[in-house]
Amino acid sequence: MTRTAGLCTASAAGILALAVVGLIVGDFPVPAREAIATAVWDRGSEFDFVINSLRFPRVVVAVLAGICLAVSGALFQALIDNPLVSPDIIGIDTGAAAFAVAVLAVGLDTRWLPYAAFAGAVGTAGLIFVLSWRRGFSGGRLVLVGIGVNALLTAVITYLLVRFPIERVSAAARWQAGTLSSSSWGDARTLAIGLAVLVPAAFLLIRRLRVMQLGDDMATALGVGLEPSRLAVITVGCGLAAAAVGVVGPLGFVALLVPHVARALAGALSGGVLLLTALLGAVMLLSADLVAQRLFAPTVLPAGVVTAAMGGPYLLFVLRRFNRAA
């Protein structure tokens, strides 16, 4: 437990450090002292606009979205007992994206994006849940159905992109890669509300998930009602993914990767490990966004490109180990 506590402290320190770097660097560098002063107390500063309208909300959105994605991934991986599962792989993100692209394509204002994405994510989750239900519920079936739904929704998105005027859907195409570049305080508020409800719920579900990981028979024997518990975990997991996707777009690999890293560092699922997962999610998204902004500056990449570049090789590494173990 002390090890997990130490890792959590280190991750929290990492978040603070990265957040400060996020305030300082950019096309218009701000000295560290002024950056912190402007963000925390000095509203009259000459850097007020750069810091408080552009960089600070972006840093906050990166932290909150990273937490949402990582916790969501941890819930799904524990529920399905498969380390290769995450909301982006079973189609939740794509569902959110399809709705969001549809909203942009028909010409609605971008402020409807988070709501459309949320509706898409929840709708997709419901669809997968219904399609994979057969006298009960199996994790393996859910994954296969999810992959199928994912493919179908990808086709829908492609259709929308081809069918509708380019100037509308180009915004959608960019959003689809996952980006934090237009993050506002409104986005941060949306995420904070989702987080305030869903993250405590995730922690309350941990005890039951730890028992569900022992298999259906043992979980029933220990007094876990399987179907309601699964429904609860899926609802919270989808809600977290939907909140994040609605704001930053379908940012891949954070949900898949971060729970792995947390488990490798701190061991089997517990409240402490979930906390570490949340913090590491923030670390990953903050650093990915910094790299995305600065690597080819002044050209800015979508953060999703960087998380994919970090996540792809790791996924291959995990697959390799997984194959050897099987």
Return residues touching another protein (CB under 8 A). Answer: 81, 83, 135, 204, 207-208, 210-211, 213-215, 217-218, 220-225, 263, 267-270
Nearer to another protein, 231 or 295 (CB): 231
Judged by beta carbon, residue 168 or residue 210, the one nearer another protein is 210
CA 248 to chain centre: 9
User: C-beta of 221: minimal distance to another protein in Å?
Assistant: 3
**Separation of alpha carbons 42 and 58, rounded Å:** 19
Burial, 9: exposed, middle or buried (Cβ in 10 Å; 0-12, 13-18, 19+)? exposed
Q: Determine contact, residues 131/149, Cβ cutoff 8 Å.
A: yes
**Closer of 147 and 211 to another protein (Cβ):** 211
Buried (b) or exposed (e) across 240-266, using 16+ Cβ within 10 A? bbbbbbbbbbbbbbbbbbbbbbbbebb
Of residues 186 and 215, the one with the C-beta less far from another protein = 215
Residue 51 and residue 39 in contact, taking contact as beta carbons nearer than 8 Å: yes
CB of 277 to another protein, least distance (A): 15
**d(C-alpha 183, C-alpha 106), whole Å:** 23
Q: What is the DSSP letter of 51?
A: I
Of 37 and 318, which CB lies nearer to another protein in the complex structure? 318
User: In the complex with another protein, which residue's Cβ is closer, 173 or 222?
Assistant: 222
Nearest to 241 by CA among 97, 78, 38: 97
Helix (H, G, I), strand (E, B) or coil at 137: strand
CB of 212 to another protein, least distance (A): 10
| Closer CB to another protein, 17 or 222, in the complex | 222
CB of 326 to another protein, least distance (A): 13
User: Minimum Å distance from CB 216 to another protein?
Assistant: 8
Neighbours of 270 (CB within 10 A): 16
Q: Which ranges in 213-225 belong to alpha helices (H)?
A: 216-221
CA distance 151 to 155: 6
Amino acid at site 255: A
Q: Shortest gap between Cβ of 301 and another protein (angstroms)? A: 34
77 vs 307 by CB, closer to another protein: 77
Indicate the length of the chain as a whole number: 326
Considering the complex, what minimum distance in angstroms separates the CB of residue 26 from another protein?
41
Q: Are 62 and 289 in contact (CB under 8 A)?
A: yes
* CB contact at 8 A, 67 and 195: yes
Give the nearest distance from C-beta 226 to another protein in angstroms.
9
What does the alpha-carbon distance between residue 241 and residue 256 come to, in Å, rounded to a whole number?
12
Q: Give whichever of 225 and 312 is closer to another protein, judged by the CB atom.
A: 225
- Least distance (Å) between residue 124 CB and another protein: 27
